[in-house]
Chain A
């Protein structure tokens, strides 16, 4: 019953570990195969009663902060190439950590260029749960 965030990144993961070609360099069939895989993954989560949420984020965006002078927000965009960039996420409600890791590992095998698995890095983060009753 704990919930986990399975986080996808556009960038910011270690280089050289991933079948890492921008999607625009894939063939249309490879793009379709990737999308079909993602769709099937989401449907299986739903069928297994583990699905909570799935969202994809547009890469365009900015960082915002307030400055001391109060002259309106300071923004920092578009992103510098080195910044981590969140692509989207799944939220799952599962039996425990091991299951969350197994699901992320499945997602990592999504097909990419050449039909080979991407071996993408997925970040798995636990949600906070309810405090226990024992205090």
Chain B
């Protein structure tokens, strides 16, 4: 970036600018379109000519776009008279406004795919092209997806409290979509979660941010230069980002102290125990299992039950792990991979090799598939 301005600052004010237009009488869909136009214009002209007041500039340009759009649609007197210039809201209103944009973009009527796209554009301040590149779809497809999402929530009031849990789920989806383009979605999800945490001030949102930071801290250690996966137990822990770990742990401790636990706090607690251990064998597996017990009681999730079985295998030995795994739905995608691992630890190498090979066929990503095939090959070679 040779730009004389910080793109993150520009993107950070996008939801506030949308809210200003809405407060002045624009409907959300039209306001969001107008601000997107202004954003694209800003990305083009600011590097050479940065404005003194970025937000003011965006409001002015977006508002002009909006009024032009209204006029060109049909020069109906009635619509124009509804559009009157109002003073900008004060700081308190601004805070709530950004939260409202979060809520609208993660409205329960939207599918996860739509909510993710709309959130990245209207809250994240990404251009349609950036969102399309991030998900490896044509720009026209992404534009349609966003338009449809806005039609779905047309007429939703801007001031109604929304559902924080849905917003958190949407951000976690963004975090877990590691695809292409020049936008790092994991970093973007962290940025948005940080913003949401500041606005929401609730422990579970802090827990989500902590979980993201703790996972993200391991990123450099998770893959080799050739893209192959490095399992947690084999990762070079000196590559973990200690600042991110420290921030995640600090956030988590403060959140847990407030005694309103949720699934993201509990997952973060497990991630923190991994981060705490200087090496895999030093992990406090007994405590990991205790957190999984709590997580299972809270969610009843089959995936949690599966991960818990693996942790039991570490805490109490492979045989106990296999007993715990017997309680888990074998249709789960990673069931065979877990079974292979536990059978190997139990000394049943031929069975483990066969299960690794079967697990490879069920993998949902190419790096995971290659990793499982190599595990099978390793055991077959040792036989």
- Which A residues have a C-beta under 8 Å from some C-beta of B? 1, 3, 46-52, 93-95, 126, 128-135
Contact = CB atoms under 8 A, between A and B. Distances in A.
Interface in B81-98: none
B242 interface: no
Contacts of B145: 48-50
Contacts of B307: 134
Nearest to A47: B144
Contact of A135 (B137, B142, B148, B222): B222
Given A3-B136, A95-B113, A135-B231, 5 more contacts: A49-B117, A49-B144, A128-B364, A131-B178, A133-B222
Contact of B175 (A1, A52, A131, A133): A133
Given A47-B144, A48-B144, A49-B141, A130 B179 contact: yes
A126 B369 CA distance: 14
Contacts of A130: 176-179, 365
Contacts of A132: 176, 365
A104 to B, nearest CB: 18
B137 A131 contact: no
A133 B230 CA distance: 11
Ranked 5 nearest A-B pairs via Cβ = A49-B145, A130-B178, A49-B144, A131-B365, A128-B366
B342 interface: no
A105 B256 CA distance: 48
Given A130-B176, A134-B215, A1 B113 contact: yes
Contacts of B140: 46, 51
Label chain A's interface by main secondary structure. Answer: loop
Q: Is the interface of B mostly helix, strand, loop or mixed?
A: helix
B148 A95 contact: no
A94 B111 CA distance: 10
A129 B231 contact: no
A121 B148 CA distance: 30
Contacts of B232: 135
Given A1-B113, A95-B112, A133-B186, A128 B141 contact: no
A94 B143 CA distance: 15
Interface residues of B, number: 41
A128 B113 contact: no
B183 to A, nearest CB: 14
A129 B141 CA distance: 19
A48 B148 contact: yes
A75 to B, nearest CB: 29
B367 A52 contact: no
Interface string B355-383: 00000000111111100000000000000
B35 interface: no
Contacts of A48: 144-145, 148
Contacts of A51: 137-138, 140-141
A55 B114 CA distance: 25
A60 to B, nearest CB: 29
B322 interface: no
B157 to A, nearest CB: 25
B116 interface: yes
A40 B307 CA distance: 45
Contacts of A134: 215, 307
A130 B181 CA distance: 14
B215 A133 contact: yes
Interface in B131-155: 135-138, 140-148
A109 B307 CA distance: 42
26 contacts: A1-B173, A1-B177, A46-B141, A49-B141, A49-B146, A50-B141, A50-B145, A51-B140, A51-B141, A52-B136, A52-B138, A93-B137, A93-B141, A95-B111, A95-B112, A126-B364, A128-B364, A128-B366, A128-B369, A129-B365, A130-B177, A131-B178, A133-B175, A133-B178, A133-B222, A135-B222
